[in-house]
Every structure is written in C-alpha cells, then in structure tokens.
C-alpha cells in the first residue's frame, strides 16, 4: 500500500510540475514571445534550462523550508502528500485552462497551510513572514511600475525607441540544405541590445521560477519519510516543468504577451 501511494504521489507531483511549467513559462517569456523576440518552442527550452539551474542550486533551500518548516515533516504522510499535491495541481490546471497566470508558490503553500490548520501544527510565525512578503513584494512592484510608466517611460521612449517587429527577431533561411539563422533585417543595433535585455531578464525569471517552484511540486514527497531525495525531486520537477512548457504554456504565453495589454517593446 505504501509503495502504491508513493507511485501515486510521484504521478501527482508530475501533474503539479506540468501545470507549474505551463503557468510560469508564460510569466517569464510572455513579453519576449509577444515582442516576437523568441518563438514559443524557444521560450520553453530556455525556461527548462534556466529553471533547472535555479532548482538545482537555490531551490534546495526552498524545498527544505516547504518540506519541514511550514508544518513538521512528520505530517507529510503518503496520503497527506498526495492530497496536498493533488489540490495544488488541480488549482493550477484550472488557471492554465483559462489562460490565467497563477502564483504557484501561493497555491502550493496554501495547500500545505490547510494541512497545518487541520492538524494543528502550522508554524504561524513563519507564515506571518511569508504572507508579509506576499503583500509587500507586489505592492513594491506596483509602485515601481506606476512611477516608471507615468514619469520615466516618456523619456525612455524618446531616447530608447525600439522597433516593433512584424516578423520574429531571429529568422531562419531555409533555402539551403541546412537552415541558417539571421537577425531580422529591420533590427538596428539598439534593437539588438534591447532584445537581448528582454531575453536575459526572461532567463533570470526562469531561474527564479525553478528555484521557487521545484519545491511546490515535490516538497511533500521529500518530507514524506524520504519518498524522494532532494536530487531526485529536482530532476522530477524540472522534467515535469518541461512537459508543461512545451504544451499548455502556449496559451499562457499568448495571454501574458498579447492579451492583457498592448505593451510597446521598450515596456517589456
């Protein structure tokens, strides 16, 4: 029975990671795809690569926190772990089906908090710190966005004007036996610098997403009596991210890149 629950738990963890990949890829590379700097397939590949770097390095600390600090590791029985992962994955799946980017960390932590409240073992002091960060960080970003958009953007747009590409930034010449990549002929040196900046920022966001979200997919299994080691958990999470990045992430990429608002290239 324990072995069966472990297999089910791994399957549910893949389900969660699949939905995390679908959601977080759009957040990281939606602007780059919307600006036609990279294609959706390239965005998926970049997300998986940099997500793995983040999960393998910084992500270990997040896995430790979520697997034993919010609630004691002993609370992650096989059944409890499957339940936490299932409801996390179900919530993310619903948001992905509607093309709405969701906070995977809030979703996963919320499921763990539910376990802690039900068992009376929630670390309330730690949750106060976590919730405070959830409130402060978006407000800080909101203020920065308002200040930059209202007061600085007109000057930036005047001196740093980028081309809005009708075709992708990197073109493939398929006239020969081997496709040859080339830069969009309408791109100026200024466009090239700006394009690289947007892609580099997306890669950094993918690194951060991997560092944060690997724990969301596998922390209950790492805490459940060692169903998975940290290394195994990271590899499983990143593989599941890849499944989501190359499939359901396409809808979220469109939402973030084009549907929420019209973003001039320099605002990305």
Per-residue pLDDT of 181-233, as tens digits, reads 666 666 666 667 777 788 899 999 999 989 988 888 888 888 765 678 888 88
**What pLDDT score does 252 carry?**
73
Instruction: Tell me the two tokens of residue 43.
Output: 């965005």
| Residue 196: how many other CB atoms lie within 10 Å | 12
pLDDT at res. 106: 83
Confidence of residue 267 (pLDDT cuts 50, 70, 90): very low
226: tokens are 């060692």
> Domain spans of the chain?
2-128+164-260
pLDDT surpassing 80 at residue 36: no
11 vs 52: which has the higher pLDDT: 52
CA 28/CA 113 separation, integer angstroms: 27
Sign of CA dihedral 116, 117, 120, 124: positive
Nearest to 34 by CA among 264, 267, 257: 257
CB 100 within 8 A of CB 22: no
Q: How confident is the model at residue 51 (pLDDT cuts 50, 70, 90)?
A: very high
Altogether, the residues listed in the chain come to a count of 268
- Span 79-96, average pLDDT: 80
Q: What is the structure's pLDDT at 162? A: 57
In this predicted model, what pLDDT tens digit does every residue of 158-171 receive, in sequence order? 665 555 555 566 66
| Average pLDDT over all residues of the chain | 79
pTM (global) more than 0.85: no
What pLDDT does residue 249 have? 83
């Amino acid at each position: 029975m324990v072995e069966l629950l472990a297999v089910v738990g791994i399957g549910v963890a893949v389900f969660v990671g699949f939905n995390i990949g679908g959601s977080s890829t759009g957040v990281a590379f939606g602007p780059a795809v919307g600006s036609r700097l990279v294609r959706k397939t390239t965005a998926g590949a970049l997300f998986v690569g940099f997500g793995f770097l983040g999960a393998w390095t910084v992500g270990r600390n997040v896995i430790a926190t979520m697997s034993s600090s919010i609630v004691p590791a002993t609370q992650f029985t096989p059944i409890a772990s499957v339940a936490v992962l299932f409801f996390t994955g179900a919530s993310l799946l619903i948001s992905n089906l509607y093309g709405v980017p969701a906070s995977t960390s809030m979703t996963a932590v919320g499921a763990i908090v539910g376990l802690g409240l039900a068992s009376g073992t929630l670390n309330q002091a730690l949750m106060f710190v976590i919730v405070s960060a959830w409130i402060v960080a978006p407000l800080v970003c909101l203020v920065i966005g308002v200040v930059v958009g209202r007061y600085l953007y007109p000057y930036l747009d005047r001196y740093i004007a980028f081309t809005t590409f009708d075709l992708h930034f990197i073109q493939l010449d398929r006239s020969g036996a081997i496709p040859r990549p080339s830069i969009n002929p309408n791109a100026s040196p200024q466009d090239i610098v700006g394009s690289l900046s947007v892609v580099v920022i997306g890669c950094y966001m993918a690194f951060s997403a991997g560092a944060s979200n690997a724990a969301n997919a596998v922390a209950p299994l790492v805490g459940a009596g060692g169903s998975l080691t940290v290394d195994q958990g990271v590899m499983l999470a990143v593989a599941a991210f890849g499944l989501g990045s190359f499939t359901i992430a396409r809808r979220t990429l469109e939402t973030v890149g084009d549907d929420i608002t019209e973003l001039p290239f320099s605002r990305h």
